[in-house]
Structure formats: C-alpha cells, structure tokens
Amino acid sequence: MCFPVHTTGGTPSSRQETGALTGETRMQLKLKDGRVVQGTARQIVSQMRDLAQFSNAATIGDYVEYVRTNTGAFEGVSLDITGETEDEKCESLVAELLRNELAVRL
C-alpha cells in the first residue's frame, strides 16, 4: 500500500488547513508502494481497490475492512476506522493511512 495526499487547487478551507477530511476534499497521495492516487477520499479508496491484486471486495465498505484487516496482519499497524457511511469510512481510512505514515500527501 502507498499513500501520499495533497490538497489541489483553490484556497484551502479551515478543515483542509487543519488536515481534516471531508467528502469533498480533493487530495493527491503517494502510497507506501509508490503508487499515486488522487481525488476525494472515496475516489482514492476506489482507486486503491481497483489497484489491489488480491482483494475481491465487492463494495467500498468491504474493501475498507479488507485494508484494515490486512494492514494489521502485514504492516503490524492497527487502523482505527470509524464512520457509519461508506464515505465516512473512506475519509477515516485515508486519515489513518496518513496518520500511520502508510501514505503521504503530495
């Protein structure tokens, strides 16, 4: 997995300046494996799912759980994924990847 994140275009909102993610925050990330993904948190997670070699996750929610489980098993990192909706879980996953230095903002 690799993840860098960067806010692109326009003036950042106060949430963007503090690093808080919203469903509309666009960013560019470099993942730990060197791949670059960009867009909103949901678009980033969707791109990650498309790039995943061994995941057969049918939904974004399934993929978030797949990443949480496998990150613990392979990276020794526990991701604290929160949220009720898929969008909230995507925002939480991206934030956790950044917090645990599994991705960086570009």
pLDDT per residue as tens digits for the range 18-42: 345 666 789 999 999 999 999 999 9
Q: Do residues 32 and 71 make contact, with C-beta atoms less than 8 angstroms apart?
A: no
State how many domains the chain has. 1
Is residue 8, in this structure, part of any structural domain at all?
A: no
What is the chain's length? 106
The beta-carbon contacts of 59-65 under 8 Å, at least 24 apart in sequence, are 59/86, 60/86, 60/89, 60/90, 61/86, 61/89, 64/89, 64/90, 64/93
Is residue 100, in this structure, part of any structural domain at all?
A: yes
The residue with tokens 């496998």 is 70
Write the DSSP symbol of residue 7.
Answer: B
Percent of the chain with pLDDT over 70: 78
Is residue 36, in this structure, part of any structural domain at all?
A: yes
| Global confidence as pTM | 0.78
Is residue 65, in this structure, part of any structural domain at all?
A: yes
Q: For residues 89-99, give the mean pLDDT.
A: 97
